[in-house]
Amino acid sequence: MSPKLIPTLRDVLIVVDVQRDFCAGGSLAVPDADHVVAPINHLARSFTHVILTQDWHPSDHTSFARIHPGHKVYDTIMMPYGPQTLWPEHCIQSSAGADFHPQLHIPHAAAIIRKGTDRRIDSYSTFYENDRVTPTGLVGYLKERGLSRIFLAGLALDFCIRYSAEDASVHGMEVVVVHDCCRPIDVNGSSAEAEAEFRRLGARMLSCNDID
Ligand code: VGL
Ligand code: ZN
């Protein structure tokens, strides 16, 4: 057995979108999502630096199928910034569905990044909106604090985690995906695509048991 990885002060755990709407009974429930909550609570105790993210949409957000007559949920449409999957309404700003999962318990998390707040554009990555140029400010936060290796856990593996991994790599940060603390939505082949992308990026795939 290889020795466990012990996170250092340059490491940060980003806990992605562990919100009610992505969990059982939510409007965009990710299969088996509730099972990541306890392992993530435990994992977070190994990190000095933890950031939480929240998907945080206005009620007429462009990613909602309802506002595109003639289209249904999970259709893909072309937007000025590229292809966009259409979703059920989810994570509406200040709604109960946008709250963190009630069992998520990470008191030392120092920042919350909210994304998808602009009605006109979706945002999967915690770093940039889907135009890939409008920043959330997270790169600056990490750089200023000297955090250069990011560990990703949460929802959904094939959207927010995948695109966050891409953007972090572009900025020269090392990326570790804590795979058993993530779950995919898996729509239109997105899971297989995400796994191929993690390989292409050279992202390190670990289980929470690999981390002390
Ligand atoms: C996400 C679908 C819609 C995500 C957000 O954060 O993975 N997926 N909105
Ligand atoms: Zn969303």
Q: 122-145, pLDDT tens digit by residue?
A: 999 999 999 888 999 999 999 999
The bridge status of strand 49-55 relative to strand 76-79 is unpaired
Does residue 161 come out as left (phi exceeding 0), alpha (psi in the -120 to 50 range) or beta? alpha
Q: Is the CB of 56 under 6 A from ligand 1?
A: no
Q: Residue 156 CA: which ligand is closest? A: 1
Q: What pLDDT, on the 0 to 100 scale, is given for residue 74?
A: 95
H helix runs in 119-171, sequence order: 138-144, 162-170
Confidence check: pLDDT of 1 > 90: no
Q: What pLDDT, on the 0 to 100 scale, is given for residue 166?
A: 97
Q: Is the pTM of this model over 0.95?
A: yes
Ligand 2 ion: residues within 5 Å (CB):
55, 116
β-partners of residue 182 are: 154
Q: What pLDDT, on the 0 to 100 scale, is given for residue 2?
A: 80
Q: What pLDDT, on the 0 to 100 scale, is given for residue 165?
A: 98
**Dihedral, CA of residue 24, residue 90, residue 157 and residue 129, to nearest 10:** -170
Model confidence at 5, pLDDT cuts 50, 70, 90, reads very high
Rounded (10°) angle between helices 162-170 and 190-201: 20
Is residue 72 exposed (0-12), middle (13-18) or buried (19+ Cβ within 10 Å)?
exposed
Q: What pLDDT, on the 0 to 100 scale, is given for residue 189?
A: 94
Q: Is the CB of 177 under 6 A from ligand 1?
A: no
**What whole-number distance in Å separates Cα of residue 193 and Cα of residue 171?**
21
Name the phi and psi angles at 158, rounded to 5.
Answer: -90, 0
Q: What are the structural domains, with CATH classification, of the chain?
A: 11-59+90-210 (3.40.50.850)
Lowest mean pLDDT among 20-29, 32-41, 93-102, 126-135: 126-135
Residue that is written with structure tokens 């707040």 in the block: 117
Confidence check: pLDDT of 120 > 80: yes
Q: Is the CB of 124 under 6 A from ligand 1?
A: yes
Q: What pLDDT, on the 0 to 100 scale, is given for residue 15?
A: 98
What share of the chain in percent tops pLDDT 70? 100
In this structure, what DSSP letter does residue 68 have?
Answer: S
pLDDT tens digit sequence for 34-91: 999 999 999 999 999 999 999 999 999 999 999 999 999 999 999 998 999 999 999 9
**What whole-number distance in Å separates Cα of residue 4 and Cα of residue 78?**
44
Q: Is 6 helix (H, G, I), strand (E, B) or coil?
A: coil
